[in-house]
Homo-oligomer: A and B are copies of this chain.
Amino acid sequence: MKKGSVKVTPWKVSGKIDYERLIREFGVEKLNDKTLERIKKYTKELHFMLRRKIFFAHRDLNWLLDEFGKGNKFFLYTGCGPSGPIHLGHLGIWIFTKWLQDVFDAELWFQFTDDEKFLFKKKSYNEIKKWTYENMLDVIALGFDPKKTHFLIDTKHAGLLYPEAIKFAKKITFSTIKSAFGFTNNRNIGEIFYTAMQAVPAIIPSVLKKKKIPCLIPLAIDQDPHFRLARDIYPNLGYYKPAIIHSIFLPPLIGVNGKMSSSDTAASILTIDPPKEVERKIKKYAFSGGKDTTKEHRKKGGNPDVDVSFQYLKMFFEPDDKKLKQIEDDYRNGKMLTSELKEYLIKKINAFLSEHQKKREKAKNEIDKFIYKEK
């Protein structure tokens, strides 16, 4: 999607995003209450990211649930492009994916697209390698089950991925890539080929077990174009089309447009930020929906819909619906000040990060358990 200053591609998200329009333009389905009810049948509770429509769209989720109902279990596939430190914007998808792993007892194939980041960024191979290692720690820290989780690192597992990727590549022309991603002739040939590598993990378990296995991909909607292309190809190669569940973006601190990005560390809260840094960033950068003066705020109230601190609570840090509603009401009617809202968020983030950082340290001894070993 690219119109005026709004842009949503796998490599660039900017401008004020109209998710309703994205649904139409990408041709995905809105996640409706009927489908949510079907999920709830299996999970008892709905994750707050479902209740609050943080995951708001899908492809073939009803088919996936049909199959699951028949005893045809699915596996999960998601990933990370390792080009910098992990920030809060990355974590939402993965936290939700971990929940899916737990409630559906699902295998997870987690792709680290180090080739992508090397090819698309002005960064050295070794720098990307370093970030791959660092990013793996954050993923492990979220508590995935090592027995059911397999890390695929594109360069390390190229022996497994490349032979499958060329089967997709053979069916995708440069014309198609141009229109899907807006590439020009000046793109490098690795960038042009790359989408084939991203298509592959959705079939890897089927390749390894020599049978068709359903796949569910949780992702932020900017990654959808990769699969929009590839989904036409999966059945031709003898596999199911993967189902997809799409999330909105966690906004950058400076405002509710675009998505939090690891190349702009000032606008992002990193998982390795110490408490003081979190406090500084929220206080300095988090865009406020409050009024200019306390007096005015008390009188007219704030606007939680554009307030980044409130949005972070909603999307991530306040799973309790009642509490969130209370905060929303208090803020909207002026009872709660921006400074109070920020304090609340800072405490929440720091409590989370304090735990996360401990687990991240421990993860250094657990990496081997997660990296897929070819038989």
Contacts and interface: CB of A to CB of B under 8 A. Distances in A.
Interface stretch (A191-199, A241-249, A335-343): A191-199
A158 B159 contact: yes
Interface stretch (A80-88, A172-180, A321-329, A356-364): A172-180
Contacts of A270: none
A185 B175 contact: yes
A169 interface: yes
Contact of A186 (B162, B175, B185): B175
A157 interface: yes
B155 A162 contact: yes
A119 interface: yes
Contacts of A175: 185-186
Nearest to A120: B170
Contact of A158 (B125, B158, B177): B158
Nearest to A173: B186
Interface string A140-170: 0000000000000001111111110111011
A10 to B, nearest CB: 15
List the number of copies, as a whole number.
2
A118 interface: yes
Contacts of A157: 159
Contacts of A38: none
Nearest to A196: B189
Residue from A125, A165, A189 having most chain B Cβ neighbours under 10 A: A189
Contacts of A177: 189
Interface string A38-77: 0000000000000000000000000000000000000000
A163 B158 contact: yes
Interface string A293-331: 000000000000000000000000000000000000000
A188 B174 CA distance: 6
29 contacts: A115-B162, A115-B163, A118-B166, A118-B170, A119-B170, A125-B163, A155-B163, A155-B166, A156-B163, A158-B158, A158-B161, A159-B160, A169-B189, A170-B188, A172-B188, A172-B189, A173-B185, A173-B188, A174-B183, A174-B185, A174-B186, A174-B187, A174-B189, A175-B186, A189-B193, A190-B193, A192-B192, A192-B193, A193-B193
